[in-house]
Structure formats: structure tokens, C-alpha cells
Amino acid sequence: MDIFVTFLLGIGNFALHRAVLDSGHPLLGKMPWFYHGLHRRFSFAVEFLMLFAGLLLTAQGIAWGPVAYLGYTALNGLSAWLILSDRI
């Protein structure tokens, strides 16, 4: 059950990430130089690695793994909300 919930959180993170990238927010223009060369592939690869690490920790039975990924999802959701609602 923990793996399924972590996977669903990962789907939510990818959806939020895509929404922020598609928003065209001016903050995206201030990303470092290497980000612009790789653009979406780099950011989605980092997002995938975070999900993979969360799933791996969850599958190994490490208790703080899903909790840490839940915290990452909460921070990701908060930052996406701030960006998408033009509060930043």
C-alpha cells in the first residue's frame, strides 16, 4: 500500500511539474544556464530520480522514505501553488 501511495504522489509531482513548466512564468527564465540547454529533460530526470528514490526506500521498508517523499510532495505542491497563482 505504501508503494502505491508513493507512486500516486509521484504522479501528482509530475503533473505539478508539467503545469509549472507550461505556465511560462518569468521565474523559469531565471534558471541556471545548464537548465536552459537541457530544459525539460533535465528537470523531469531529476523528478524521476526523486520518485525512484522514494519508491526504493519504501520498497526496502525504510519508514522515513515515504514520509520524506510526502514532505517533498508537500513542498512541491506549495511552490507550484505559489507559482501558478502568481503569488511569486
pLDDT, mean of residues 24-28: 74
Range of the domain at 15: 2-84
Structural domain count, the chain: 1
Predicted confidence at residue 35, as pLDDT, reads 58
Report the Cα–Cα distance between both ends of the chain, in Å, rounded. 36
Give CA–CA dist 48/52, Å, rounded.
Answer: 6
**Higher pLDDT pick, 80 / 41:** 80
Q: What is the tens place of the pLDDT at every residue in 41-73?
A: 788 888 899 999 999 999 998 988 889 999 999
